[in-house]
Structure 1
Amino acid sequence: MAPKLATILVCLVLAIPRNSIAGDTLSDAAMDKMHKHFSEAYNRGDLDAMAATFAENAVRVTPSGIFQGRDAIRRSFSDALKLGLHDYSVQRTISRPEGTLVFNAGTWQAKVGDRSFHGYYSSILTSEGGQPKIIEETVAVAAP
Structure 2
Amino acid sequence: MKPAASPEDLHKLFVEALNLGDVDALVALYAFDGFLMARSGPARGIRAIRKALSEYVAMKPTIQLTTRRVVQAGDTALLLADWRFHGTTSDGGNVSTSGTSIEVARRQPDGSWCYLIDLPNGLD
TM-score class normalised by the smaller sequence: 0.7 to 0.9
Unmatched 5+ residue regions in structure 1? 1-15, 19-30
- The structural deviation recorded for 1:40 is 4.5
In the alignment, the residues of structure 1 paired with residue 23 and residue 95 of structure 2 have an alpha-carbon distance, to the nearest angstrom, of: 24
- Would the alpha carbon gap of residues 115 and 72 (structure 1) be closer, same or farther in structure 2, given more than 3 Å must change? closer
Which whole-Å CA distance do the structure 2 matches of 1:107 and 1:101 have between them? 20
Q: Is the 8 A contact 2:21 2:60 kept in 1?
A: no
Tell me the SS of whatever aligns to 1:121: strand
Which letter does structure 2 place at the counterpart of 1:117? T
* Structural RMSD (CA): 2.7
What's the counterpart of residue 65 of structure 1? 41
If the length of structure 2 is used for normalisation, what is the TM-score? 0.74
The DSSP-based 3-state class of the residue aligned with 2:7 is coil
Q: Pick closer, same or farther for the CA change 1:134–1:79 going to 2, 3 Å.
A: same
Deviation at 1:41, TM superposition (A): 3.4
Q: Aligned partners of 2:119 and 2:59: how far apart in 1? A: 21
Alignment partner, residue 82 of structure 2: 107
When the two structures are superposed, what TM-score results if normalisation uses the length of structure 1?
A: 0.65
Larger radius of gyration: 1
Percentage of matched positions with identical amino acids = 21
Task: Flag the 1:118–1:51 CA change in 2: closer, same or farther, 3 A.
Answer: same
Question: Does residue 1:95 correspond to 2:85, yes or no?
Answer: no
Higher helix share: 1
Matched with 1:125 is 105
Does residue 46 of the first structure (1) align with residue 25 of the second (2)? no
1:23 corresponds in structure 2 to none
**1:123 to 1:38, Cα distance in 2 relative to 1, 3 A:** closer
